[in-house]
Amino acid sequence: MKIAFIGLGNMGAPMALNLLKNGHTLNVFDLNQAAVQTLVDAGASASASPKAAATGVECVVTMLPAAAHVKRVLTADDGVLAGIARGATIVDSSTIDPASAQAFAKLAAERGNPFVDAPVSGGTGGAAAGTLTFMVGANAGVYEQVKPMLAAMGKNIVHCGDTGMGQVAKICNNLLLGITMAGVAEAMSLGVALGIDPKVLAGIVNTSTGRCWSSDTYNPYPGIVETAPASRGYTGGFGTDLMLKDLGLAADAAKSAKQPVYLGALAQQLYQTMSKHGDGGLDFSSVIKLYHDVGAKR
């Protein structure tokens, strides 16, 4: 399949590499030329703009930081909608608010292009391994069309409902993730302050009722999980500012639904404090720094 891939960051680059590995032909675009070069070295063609990338392809995939970037890439004079052929599909895997996804779908439909929201979970490790979970919002026919392409980048491809429902699933998951990470950071810090060996405490939690992904796969305490950002100075992984963005999306969506998110609001303030202290670029598990000094690298 001929695909345009726009947004080659921590997630987008390994996802695009997996499309190439699976035999797809890729046009790529990113503002960061080093990221583009990595994909060109692997066999992709560099494009001068999103418009140029989208010209002549069957599908455009975007993996960008936030809704404002997606809007710019889609609607600018040199944007995707200016170049894409009628009938070609746009798949946005960025995490954005459901209302924006629905607005982009409307805009794309006016030009004869199906738009799919397909945010992911699984982190940079899942992106590299091709084991991401895709949460797909689209009508059933379009979902079936994009499923084989998504399967080149992910293991679980889940149809969540019509447009926007992929983003609903994603922001609810990340609301929970932001809360559980803060909870694990709090419990680990309390245990250590009271004198228990952190490895013993993590071992107990991970075989007890407190176990969760934040404790067993991505523990925020250094040295518990070798592959977790906590064990490399909180570098790489999922940035605090991106978690803050997702909690903001959840808070906004909750407001529109008149639904309380008590713990989410508190978690948002914790990550906001991290960001204010200059730690927005560290992995979000560095929230443990609010509890004690764990020697994070800046």
| DSSP track, 55-98 | TT-SEEEE--SSHHHHHHHHHSTTSHHHHPPTT-EEEE-S---H
Kindly state the number of chain residues that form the binding site for ligand NAD, as judged by CB under 6 A.
26
Q: 107 is written with which tokens?
A: 């805009």
Residue pair 91/116 in contact by the 8 Å Cβ criterion? yes
Task: Write each residue from 116 to 145 as x if it is in contact with ligand NAD (CB under 6 A), else as -, in one continuous string.
Answer: ----xx-xx---------------------
Compute CA distances 222 → 68, 195, 213, whole Å: 35, 16, 16
Helix (H, G, I), strand (E, B) or coil at 2: strand
- Count the Cβ atoms, other than its own, within 10 Å of residue 239: 22
Q: 283 is written with which tokens?
A: 């992995």
Stretch that binds ligand NAD, among 23-31, 182-190, 199-207, 263-271 (CB under 6 A): 23-31
Stretch that binds ligand NAD, among 9-17, 38-46, 248-256, 290-298 (CB under 6 A): 9-17
Task: Write each residue from 64 to 93 as x if it is in contact with ligand NAD (CB under 6 A), else as -, in one continuous string.
Answer: xx---x--xx--------------------
Q: Is 6 in the site for ligand NAD (CB under 6 A)?
A: yes
Stretch that binds ligand NAD, among 58-66, 109-117, 176-184, 223-231 (CB under 6 A): 58-66
Q: 253 is written with which tokens?
A: 């969506």
Closest distance of CB 8 from ligand NAD, Å: 5
Helix (H, G, I), strand (E, B) or coil at 157: strand
Q: Write down the catalytic residue from 170, 255, 258, 289.
A: 170
Catalytic residues: 170
Which positions touch ligand NAD (CB under 6 A)?
6-12, 29-32, 35, 63-65, 69, 72-73, 94-95, 120-121, 123-124, 238, 242
